[in-house]
Chains A and B, each alone.
Chain A
Amino acid sequence: MTDPSTPAVDLQHYIERTAAAIGLSIAPEDMPAVAGIFANLARVAGPLMEFPLPADAEPSPVFVGGGTRR
């Protein structure tokens, strides 16, 4: 998949294709606002994708045993 954080990408095309892939239909009258919001997400995602993260920066959840909950 083309990375939509790349400025040259046609974001509306990406939105339409991705929405179709998950069975979502976006009404034409909603598309300008959706594209505008998505463009802002793409703008802020760019530096985040470029930020160098160590390989051990991982999002796995932590499981706590020992009956602290029950």
Chain B
Amino acid sequence: MTGAMTGVSDIAASVRDGRQTAVDVTSTSLDRIRAHDSSINAFTAVVAERALATAARVDDLVRMGRDPGPLAGVCFAVKNLFDVEGLTTLAGSRIDAALPPAIRDATLVARLESSGAVLVGALNMDEYAFGFSTQNSHYGPTRNPHDLSRIAGGSSGGSAAAVAAGLVPMSLGSDTNGSIRVPAALCGVFGLKPTYGRLSRAGTRLFAASFDHVGPFARSVADIAAVYDALQGPDPSDPACAGRPVEPVVPMLVQGTDGLRIALATGYFAGGGHPEVFAATEKAASALNVVLRVNLPEPALARAAAMIITASEGGELHLPDLKTQAASFDPMTRPLFLSGAVVPAAWYVRAQRFRRWYCRELEALFREVDVILAPTTPYPAFPIGQRMMEVDGRQLPAAGHLGVFTQPLSFAGLPVLAAPVAGSSALPLGIQIAAAPWREDLVLRVAAAAEAAGVLAPSPMRF
């Protein structure tokens, strides 16, 4: 191991009270990236000069006795669909590599740095975020730090792998149908998809705007809560950002689960995957003394509608390039975008109308329960290059089926934490913890209680 990397809260505390400098912390992170990323392929760019300059400014504030911010000296990296001043925003594509560099940072990059954090680089992803595996044909696959022959999940695969390998203690990704939660589960870290409209997407490359969310990855509940708090706040530059005030969750983590009605999703969420997934979910539910069971309303139709809206919005967004340079798309995503471009309007509008019905039904469900637990993925990480997966005797697309449990939750914009189940199997597995819109506090309170009970824990670092 090259220089131990600790968590967000520990690093910030030690930099703030002068036990170590932000420059030393940043140098350690850069050393680890140099030593290990060639085998993981999480990073597509490292901004060492910028990082060391940012860290030096943090150290100056500490020396002057001024507040360096709650995330002082904490290194982070972002999925390469976030704008980083001076870097071209690739969004996993070769086409966008021809664009000029970004002239300013995305809102969330700027917010983290204004909180004292230090950006060290940009991270690999599926092209234009259309995928669940980060098997990117242009920039190579991101490898799972727990088994380098396997996928990291996607589309924010670099964001999850970089945290799982301890190259950075936190990162940012995006989630349209599960692209934060799937890689978090397969890499054994925490990934938070907040309520749709909670965090600003300004300065990010959109994919399917009806569902595009952004959020953080980290290795503990306290860490991801601290990062999330620093990211919150209205932003007029993102028309979907709801304009809600900052509602800090860190102070809420100690409140426990007393009085909360926690239910395990059953029916649709208890099949369509491998047995170890459901065993891990049951184990987590049992440790929290969860006895309630709930059936979500028509989750298969919710997934279908999510697929149609995603394909259609993605296909239309990229239609100009599909017309003029289709051959430059990743062969993994080109047929997805092409088929999306010809989706009939009747399907699309029906899917959006169904979304309204579904959200109303969930609103009623959340009058009966406060928090819902569900598996994150239907199986653990599979070998890179594997095309099909057997599930219940059927051969299904291995990557495409990874979203079977995440899509019905993001379809309604719910806040969901993907959390790693401690010691669930040889490869990491995760559960989803979901609540009603805007109740990230409940999600993280339950996660904190489960973590304290030893049920949730990041998979041990192998680097």
> Which A residues lie at the B interface, using CB under 8 A?
1, 3-5, 14-15, 18-19, 22-27, 30, 33-38, 41, 44-45, 47-49, 51, 53-54, 57-59, 64, 68-70
Contact = CB atoms under 8 A, between A and B. Distances in A.
A15 B339 contact: yes
A41 B343 contact: yes
Given A19-B342, A24-B338, A30-B335, A45 B243 contact: no
A41 B234 CA distance: 36
A18 B322 CA distance: 14
A8 to B, nearest CB: 16
Contacts of B322: 24
B356 interface: yes
Contacts of B357: 53-54, 57
Interface in B314-353: 319, 322-323, 326-327, 334-336, 338-339, 341-344, 346-347, 349-353
Interface in B20-46: none
Interface string B272-308: 0000000000000000000000000010110111011
A32 B12 CA distance: 53
Interface of B is mostly: helix
B32 to A, nearest CB: 39
B439 interface: no
B236 A33 contact: no
Contact of B344 (A1, A23, A33, A36): A1
A56 to B, nearest CB: 8
Contacts of A49: 346-347, 350
Given A38-B342, A57-B357, A69 B243 contact: yes
A3 B344 CA distance: 8
A34 to B, nearest CB: 5
B57 interface: no
B354 A48 contact: yes
A45 B307 CA distance: 9
B355 interface: yes
Identify the 6 closest CB pairs spanning chains A and B, nearest first.
A59-B352, A44-B304, A33-B335, A68-B243, A37-B339, A18-B342
B342 A53 contact: no
A18 to B, nearest CB: 4
A38 B243 contact: no
Contact of A44 (B234, B307, B334, B356): B307
B339 to A, nearest CB: 4
